[in-house]
């Protein structure tokens, strides 16, 4: 059961893995650096005893390298206590010095072992009456009062069979409610095989589970409550379904991801009803600035959203990298709407930026794919994307779902403020509703781009160009190639070419160009075709993503991949897909693991 849960969570970290179980008054543990298969080899060679109680962990190294010694669980208290940890203990150095002075020793380089030793020390200091009442819970409360940083801790103790105690601060933790069994996980996928009933925990809460009970307190022992909810997908959604990788499956999930994000959010007349938008309409009408906060792929979704929101709503919109936002003394007030975008809802940089925005009095809306996660809970409103679980570390379907949700938010604001007639909004929604079928057309005709990817597996550098909404698509295409294939890739605004990047062009340099539609009075098509000619004249190998029927680009491109005709603002939902397929196929041809790229984890839960 533990290993199956770890397998489902390995996308969160795969530098090392370990498990610990309680059996006959002892803690038995096995752990190993490397991916989960390495741990399975250890467990086969050195089987653990059967046990009804255990904890397991997959690690993404922060403090201390990915070694056997640094792997979790960490044992303390003479081997009677085992602890696992996600996050960072910021005051570990002073705690370690204090504990060492008190006679404790340490075997690893991790902050986690400091938390384990501290917890064991707290347990040893308990009165007999406190131990009898629930010693591990009390010790966890005492330890958490001393810890600083972002952490989820899970612990078991040999003296308390049938008990697991966990604590949460700024890091994901969810409870699964079973029948005669209960579960803890950083993600519901860990226990989805056993229950679809879950409880989300609040900030600075401790939960104690037994087979029959779930008790929640705060860090000082006061009773607290979580929120129970039903998981709206089943275990099969987190399986590969016959595809060679989760990434390939999730690329093919995209028509459904976009459709599910649109589902049930508009009436027959085209009016939008976003049930999760809990902000008063009068306040939204007063918005005079929008700030979008995100990191990585989500930030490029925000860049796409900026074009649409400003066009539809006429509200100035900025896109900020979450980790830079609160450190530059930004200007925001009660009439600022802050939109955070995070697949997991646990991205620490974004969470801290949202908290800062709320402290300044701004309104906050989260666009998120994970029900019950921290960022939606701490925001004034939320738009869930309903894309289903995304297991591959590099994002694909979540990106398209985030753009779709941002479009819905922009149209909703335009509806409230009267920037668009209802008929215009209905027309845009109708075009959005056609998008899933258009994505499917691209997927059904992807053989040509896969062939190209395999032929380019030895490429050392690839450049991407785009204009308008094609610019963030170009940056996302480059990011996918960096993440999956480990080669140099950059996305540029095509208009910047002569301002510097054209110096990179040499004979044989592959350049992807996202070409805008030739339709429309403000089309940038001719300018981008000129850019293609500029790089081709200097020896570039040009690869073009263009709209069906655009024959003008053929003369200037070695390869052309056509996408179905769609309104210009919606084009990123289509133009991104060939770039995802290309990156996935090229990395596969190089023999790399596209689901678990080196050095990366799915959810960055530390700053």
Give the model confidence (pLDDT) of 365-409 as tens digits: 999 998 878 899 999 999 999 898 898 999 999 999 999 999 999
CA distance 87 to 413: 37
- Taking the domain 2-235, which CATH number applies? 3.60.20.10
Q: Is the confidence at residue 60, as pLDDT, over 90?
A: no
pLDDT band at 343 (very low <50, low <70, confident <90, very high): very high
pLDDT tens-digit series, residues 142-152:
999 999 988 99
Tell me how crowded residue 607 is: count the other CB atoms within 10 A of its CB. 15
Task: Give tens-digit pLDDT for 453-500.
Answer: 999 999 999 999 999 999 999 999 999 999 999 999 999 999 998 899
Identify the pLDDT of residue 63. 83
Specify the pLDDT at position 521: 67
Residue 517 is classified by DSSP as P
To which H or E segment does residue 228 belong? strand 227-230
For residues 286-296, give the mean pLDDT: 96
pLDDT tens per residue, range 526-555: 999 999 999 999 999 999 999 999 998 999
Can you tell me the distance from the alpha carbon of 235 to that of 190, in angstroms, rounded to the nearest whole number?
A: 10
Q: Is the pLDDT of residue 273 over 90?
A: no
pLDDT in tens, 308-322: 999 999 999 999 999
Same fold, 257-438 and 445-595: yes
Domain 257-438 has CATH 3.40.50.10490: yes
Quote the tokens at residue 100: 């060492």
Nearest-5° Cα angle at 292, 290 to 297: 155
Rounded to 10 degrees, what is the CA torsion of 358, 360, 363, 368? -40
Residues 175 and 195 sit within 8 Å (Cβ to Cβ): no
Strand order in the sheet with 164-169: 74-76, 81-89, 149-157, 164-169, 205-209, 214-218
Q: Let me know: does 494 contact 531? Beta carbons within 8 Å.
A: yes
166-175 average pLDDT score: 92
Q: What secondary structure letter does DSSP report for 48?
A: P
Query: Is it the case that residue 234 has pLDDT exceeding 90?
Result: no
Q: Is the pLDDT of residue 415 over 90?
A: yes
Q: Which CATH architecture has domain 445-595?
A: 3-Layer(aba) Sandwich (3.40)
CA neighbor of 134 nearest in space, from 242, 18, 213: 213
List of residues 6+ apart from 163 with CB closer than 8 A? 53, 134, 136, 156, 157, 208, 209, 210
Token pair in block for residue 348? 């620490």
pTM, full prediction: 0.80
Q: At what angle do helices 254-262 and 422-444 cross, to 10 degrees?
A: 160
Do the strands 16-23 and 54-59 form a parallel or antiparallel pair, or are they unpaired? antiparallel
pLDDT above 70: percentage of residues in the chain? 98
Assess whether pLDDT exceeds 80 at residue 239. Answer: no
The pLDDT value given to residue 261: 93
For the beta carbon of residue 503, count every other beta carbon within 10 angstroms.
Answer: 9
What are the residue boundaries of the structural domains of the chain, listed by start? 2-235, 257-438, 445-595
| pLDDT grade for 118, boundaries at 50, 70 and 90 | very high
Taking all residues of the chain, what is their mean pLDDT, rounded to a whole number? Answer: 93
Mean pLDDT throughout 423-442?
Answer: 95
Alpha-carbon span 219 to 145, nearest angstrom: 6
Average pLDDT over residues 16-30: 96
Instruction: Name the pLDDT band for 339 (thresholds 50, 70, 90).
Output: very high
pLDDT given for residue 233 in this prediction: 72
Structure tokens at 500: 């510097």
């Amino acid at each position: 059961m533990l290993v199956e849960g770890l397998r489902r969570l390995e996308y969160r970290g795969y530098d090392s893995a370990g498990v610990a179980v309680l059996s006959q008054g002892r803690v038995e543990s096995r752990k190993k650096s490397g991916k989960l298969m390495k741990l399975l080899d250890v467990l086969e060679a050195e089987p653990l005893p059967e046990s009804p109680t255990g904890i397991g962990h997959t690690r993404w190294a922060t403090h201390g390298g990915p070694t056997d010694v640094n792997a979790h669980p960490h044992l303390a208290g003479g081997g009677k206590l085992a602890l696992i940890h996600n996050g960072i203990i910021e005051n570990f150095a002073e705690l370690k010095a204090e504990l060492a002075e008190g006679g404790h020793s340490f075997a690893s380089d991790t902050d986690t072992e400091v938390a384990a030793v501290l917890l064991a020390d707290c347990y040893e200091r308990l009165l007999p009456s406190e131990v009898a009442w629930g010693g591990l819970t009390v010790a966890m409360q005492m330890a958490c009062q001393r810890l600083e940083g972002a952490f989820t801790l899970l612990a078991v103790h040999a003296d308390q069979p049938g008990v697991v105690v966990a604590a949460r601060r700024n890091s994901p933790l969810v409870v699964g409610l079973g029948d005669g069994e209960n579960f803890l996980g950083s993600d519901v996928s860990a226990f989805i095989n056993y229950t679809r009933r879950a409880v989300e925990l609040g900030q600075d809460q401790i939960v104690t589970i037994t087979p029959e009970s779930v008790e929640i307190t705060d860090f000082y022992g006061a009773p607290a409550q979580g929120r129970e909810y039903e998981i709206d997908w089943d275990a099969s959604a987190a399986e590969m379904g016959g595809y060679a990788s989760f990434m390939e499956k999730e690329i093919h999930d995209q028509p459904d991801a976009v459709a599910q994000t649109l589902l049930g959010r508009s009436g027959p007349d085209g009016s939008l009803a976003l049930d999760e938008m809990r902000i008063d309409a009068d306040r939204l009408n007063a918005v005079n600035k929008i700030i979008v906060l995100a990191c990585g792929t989500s930030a490029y979704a925000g860049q796409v959203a900026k074009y649409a929101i400003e066009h539809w709503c006429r509200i100035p919109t900025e896109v900020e990298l979450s980790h830079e936002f609160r450190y530059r003394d930004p200007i925001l007030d009660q009439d600022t709407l802050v939109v955070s975008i995070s697949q997991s809802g646990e991205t620490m940089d974004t969470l801290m930026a949202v908290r800062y925005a709320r402290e300044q009095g701004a309104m906050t809306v989260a666009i998120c794919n994970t029900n019950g996660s921290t960022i939606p809970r701490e925001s004034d409103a939320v738009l869930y994307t309903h894309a289903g679980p995304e297991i591959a570390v590099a994002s694909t379907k979540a990106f398209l779902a985030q753009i779709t949700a941002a479009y819905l938010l922009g149209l909703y604001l335009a509806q409230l403020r009267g920037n668009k007639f209802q008929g215009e909004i209905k027309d845009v929604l109708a075009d959005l509703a056609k998008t899933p079928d258009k994505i499917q057309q691209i997927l059904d005709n992807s053989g040509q781009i896969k062939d190209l990817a395999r032929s380019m597996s030895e490429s050392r550098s690839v450049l991407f160009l785009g204009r308008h909404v094609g610019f963030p698509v170009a940056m996302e295409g480059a990011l996918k190639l960096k993440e999956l294939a480990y080669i140099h890739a950059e996305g540029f605004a095509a208009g910047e070419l002569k301002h510097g990047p054209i110096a990179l062009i040499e004979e044989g340099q592959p350049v992807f160009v996202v070409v805008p539609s030739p339709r429309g009075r403000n089309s940038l098509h001719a300018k981008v075709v000129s850019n293609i000619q500029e790089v081709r004249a200097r020896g570039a190998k040009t690869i073009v993503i263009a709209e069906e029927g655009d024959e003008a680009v053929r003369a200037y491109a070695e390869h052309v991949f056509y996408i179905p005709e769609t309104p210009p603002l919606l084009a990123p939902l289509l133009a991104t897909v060939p770039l995802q397929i290309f990156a996935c196929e090229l990395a596969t041809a190089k023999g790399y693991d596209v689901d678990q790229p080196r050095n990366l984890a799915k959810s960055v839960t530390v700053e």
